[in-house]
Chains A and B, each alone.
Chain A
Amino acid sequence: DAGVIQSPRHEVTEMGQEVTLRCKPISGHDYLFWYRQTMMRGLELLIYFNNNVPIDDSGMPEDRFSAKMPNASFSTLKIQPSEPRDSAVYFCASSLMGLAGGSYNEQFFGPGTRLTVL
């Protein structure tokens, strides 16, 4: 398996522009997570999905952020409009909520998208 795939790997944009980050989870996984990592705040969970349905978006910083999962193999995180304080590395992770003793809760991370907003 190719693992979790994220695109783009790097994104540089100007303040006010719309940014869309993409994620393809591992095939067969039923959970998908979006994280943000910064030096100041560490690793933050933004939102997660179970079977394509958003379960908890309490980590989304504000209305400028939105996430969708139209099908089991694709998710997007959109920032509109972007601001310099959104500069961070954004990770997507997926997991399979299997039976205990298997891959229960283990999350597989993508390589991340480094976003720079000027």
Chain B
Amino acid sequence: AQSVTQPDIHITVSEGASLELRCNYSYGATPYLFWYVQSPGQGLQLLLKYFSGDTLVQGIKGFEAEFKRSQSSFNLRKPSVHWSDAAEYFCAVGSGNTGKLIFGQGTTLQVKP
């Protein structure tokens, strides 16, 4: 069965430090992978997506993610975190035949001044 695991429930980083949020997926075919961000009181906003091609994808707000098939991972990175990046981050895998997205449990990012 398809699944997404985000091993870190909560992460705290200092402003200006680098960030990596982990995501592991289980999917039999070529996955369609997504990262969404949810700021407090808001809906989910797409940060970036991977369908095919270059395994390093760039997104909005300075985020990037790298697809590693051998590790079944799609980790999200940012070289320098800003206080406004504090939010909850969701990794998701698309089930191409059904239209559904399978979401991970989310990682809450706290940014220290």
Residues of A within 8 A of B (CB): 4, 31, 33, 42-43, 45, 48, 50, 55-56, 91, 93, 95, 97, 100-101, 104-112
Contact residue among A31, A101, A110 (Cβ-Cβ distance under 8 Å from B43): A110
**Cβ-defined contact, B99 with A50, below 8 A:** yes
Instruction: Name the CB-closest residue of B to A31.
Output: B99
B63 to chain A, nearest CB (A): 16
A94 to chain B, nearest CB (A): 10
Looking at chain A's contact residues, is the secondary structure mostly helix, strand, loop, or mixed? strand
- Of B12-20, B46-54, B78-86, the one contacting chain A is B46-54
Cα of A42 to Cα of B108 in the assembled complex, Å? 12
- Residues of chain B within 8 A (CB-CB) of A106 are 34, 46, 49, 94
- Residues of chain B within 8 A (CB-CB) of A48 are 99-100
**Cβ-defined contact, B105 with A55, below 8 A:** no
**Cβ-defined contact, A91 with B94, below 8 A:** no
Instruction: Name the CB-closest residue of A to B103.
Output: A43
- Report how many A-B pairs have Cβ atoms within 8 Å: 54
Instruction: Name the CB-closest residue of B to A110.
Output: B43
- Residues of chain B within 8 A (CB-CB) of A50 are 99
Contact residue among B34, B36, B100 (Cβ-Cβ distance under 8 Å from A56): B100
Contact residue among A101, A105, A110 (Cβ-Cβ distance under 8 Å from B101): A105
Cα of A39 to Cα of B77 in the assembled complex, Å? 25
Q: Can you report 23 A-B residue pairs in the complex whose CB atoms are below 8 A from each other?
A: A31-B99, A33-B100, A42-B106, A43-B106, A48-B100, A55-B98, A91-B43, A93-B44, A95-B99, A100-B96, A101-B51, A104-B94, A105-B95, A105-B96, A106-B34, A106-B46, A106-B94, A107-B44, A107-B101, A109-B36, A109-B43, A111-B43, A112-B43
